[in-house]
Structure 1
Amino acid sequence: MLPTHGRYDYAGWRGRTPYAWPNGAKLAVYLGVNLEHFAFGEGLGAELAPGGPQPDVLNFAWRDYGNRVGAWRLLDLLDELSLPATVLLNSAMYGYAPGLVAAHRARGDEIAGHGRTNSERQSVLEEAAERTLIAEATAAITLHEGRAPRGWLSPWIAESRTTPDLLVEAGYTYTMNWCADDAPVWMRTRGGPLLAVPYPQEVNDIPAIVARRESAEAFARMILDDFEERLRQVQQDGLPQVMGIALHPYIVGQPHRMRVLRRVLGAIARERGRVWITTAGAVFEHVAALPAGQVPGCPRAAAAEQAA
């Protein structure tokens, strides 16, 4: 037997119990907008070009463009198309660009935890230090938003072996770290169940554009192909899916990428009668209200017994 995480049970796609999203939709679509702040002269960060010795001004400034310019243009696009968003927030943004976070708050977007900064990974920390990281990010969001976040995406999708346990202990009800499925999955933790809401690692501008050097047009085509194929699949097998679209303003907020992004998001928005355009948090709420056993992963009863 190979080592296993033990967080969820295997459930192949065929043979699952069908259920629907609101208004009978079978496809849920959400936008994950990453608002990130980076330390100057140290730490991690995506690179437009191979970085030189610190301070790496070229790449720091390129990323900072997202908060200064790109994110505001993306906000205009979301307003233009009446699209909600789940904001994946580095808590350092409250000190750096509070007006940007306030603009998302004003439009009713969901604010989810995304660590303190993407200059660090929580996976390399001892348990006490990781607990502190989660607590500090959570406290900042709770203070400024007036409510605690329900969802978490780790910086760099980096988890330790205890991250899901620590998230539940900190009050989180869903994680976006596990990209193992096209539908939500219940996970076991030592504190009770945690829902894994699909977050894309393919339809995501960092892997597509930064890692694979795809063009703006290729990334937009990827989004639309993914959307159209999912529509075909849910009509064929009747099983619900969640499609996330991961966006980073310093990447898609560049004018040449924004132009093609507008076209593809407009095409998706025009299908809102057939699909549920929503937030990751609303996906959690819907799944949490379903009868036990409809959503794969681990039975909620078993998770509750484990927690007891």
Structure 2
Amino acid sequence: MCPTLDLVAHDRYRYSAITRRPHFLWPGGKRLAVYIGFNLEHFAFGEGLGAELCPGGPHPDVLNYAWRDYGNRVGVWRLLRLFGDLDLPVSVLANSAIYHYCPEVMDAFRARGDEIVGHGRTNSERQGVLAPEEERRLIEEATDIIARSEGRRPLGWLGPWISQSPVTPDLLAEAGYQYLLDWCMDDQPVWFTTRNGGRILSIPYPQELNDIPSIVGRKDNGEQFATMITDTFDEMLEQSAGQSLVMGIALHPYLVGQPHRLRPLRRALQAIVARRDDIWITTAGGISAFSRTLPDGIVPA
């Protein structure tokens, strides 16, 4: 026998091989659920974190700040039109600062009836480095702004910069959240254990099929990212014949809202909606709500 290695563990979920799980179907008897996680983010000027088009100089980093702001001023409106043309619902992952900076953007998504997901206050900060009470306040502040603006509270959360502390799932569950998106370890929903006997659902959110790691991190061009989308879709649709899966697509308007990336993205999304009858086009919240109706033991824990 191999000796036991005493590794630090998170104790949120157990190992579960995806090929050994009970079968289930999504609504309408579909086997592949597809959703778009559309990130709306606002950044501090002259301080804090932010993706970079090119290596930034000393603050104020005008080049990179303005590049990101293009997404809220231009890119988001181009993508709104695309989503409307293709009749695509989206899960809007919103920094609460967006409501103060460009409220008309949130008005447009509200008019469409899209789901709003909590995404912290601003992507200039990480929540995982905060003390528990400070992190609790961050969650409360972002949640309250969304709830007051939308007339209902968000049920899902994605940490800014996918940042979690050791107690983030506990704090989210205690704040009334039903699901989180930060973990990318599966193609199906997974129950997370939280303290005091609670639990919260983890919905698959992509870090491969995500324009930041692809375009900013690996320097892929728009055609390469679009090909990733269509190849992933074709492969997962084929795999889903054997078991139901989730395919998420993570987008940021300052990246795919640029004209040279928008055109190949449009072709990729057109290819997906052409198979609308074969898949469940939904939101992260729709996946969460349906998963919670499944009998115990279907969703791994």
Query: Residue 266 of structure 2: which of 238, 262, 267 is its match?
Result: 262
Q: Distance in 2 between matches of 1:118 and 1:109?
A: 21
Q: Which runs of 5+ in 1 are unaligned?
A: 298-308
CA RMSD in angstroms comes to: 0.6
AA aligned opposite 2:150: E
Q: CA deviation at 1:274?
A: 0.4
Structure 2 match to 1:148: 153
Q: CA deviation at 1:12?
A: 0.6
Structure 2 match to 1:216: 222
Q: Percent of counterpart pairs with the same letter?
A: 61
Q: CA deviation at 1:217?
A: 0.3
Query: Residue 59 of structure 2: which of 54, 58, 62 is its match?
Result: 54
Report SS of the residue matched to 1:246.
strand
Q: Distance in 2 between matches of 1:85 and 1:185?
A: 21
Q: CA deviation at 1:153?
A: 0.1
Q: CA deviation at 1:138?
A: 0.2
AA aligned opposite 1:267: A
Q: Distance in 2 between matches of 1:284 and 1:14?
A: 21
CA deviation string 1:227-249 (max 9, x = no partner): 000011111x2x11110000000
Report SS of the residue matched to 2:240.
helix
Report SS of the residue matched to 1:232.
helix
AA aligned opposite 1:225: D
CA deviation string 1:233-287 (max 9, x = no partner): 111x2x1111000000000000010011110101101111000000000000100
Q: CA deviation at 1:10?
A: 1.1
Structure 1 match to 2:239: 233
Give the TM-score taking structure 1 as reference length: 0.95
The answer on 1:283 being equivalent to 2:287 is: yes
The answer on 1:76 being equivalent to 2:95 is: no
Report SS of the residue matched to 2:123.
coil
Report SS of the residue matched to 1:195.
strand
Report SS of the residue matched to 2:261.
helix
Structure 2 match to 1:170: 175
Report SS of the residue matched to 2:39.
strand
Structure 2 match to 1:106: 111
Q: Distance in 2 between matches of 1:97 and 1:274?
A: 37
Query: Residue 251 of structure 2: which of 247, 252, 255 is its match?
Result: 247
Q: CA deviation at 1:183?
A: 0.4
Report SS of the residue matched to 2:18.
coil
Query: Residue 21 of structure 2: which of 16, 37, 40 is its match?
Result: 16
Q: Distance in 2 between matches of 1:97 and 1:201?
A: 27
AA aligned opposite 1:229: E
Structure 1 match to 2:68: 63
Q: Distance in 2 between matches of 1:261 and 1:86?
A: 17
The answer on 1:293 being equivalent to 2:275 is: no
The answer on 1:195 being equivalent to 2:201 is: yes
AA aligned opposite 1:196: S
AA aligned opposite 1:275: I
**Alignment length, in residue pairs?**
295
Q: Distance in 2 between matches of 1:40 and 1:26?
A: 44
Report SS of the residue matched to 1:103.
helix
Q: Distance in 1 between matches of 2:87 and 2:239?
A: 26
AA aligned opposite 1:30: Y
Q: CA deviation at 1:190?
A: 1.1
Q: CA deviation at 1:3?
A: 1.1
Structure 2 match to 1:184: 189
Q: Distance in 1 between matches of 2:263 and 2:69?
A: 20
Report SS of the residue matched to 1:187.
strand
Q: Which runs of 5+ in 2 are unaligned?
A: 1-5
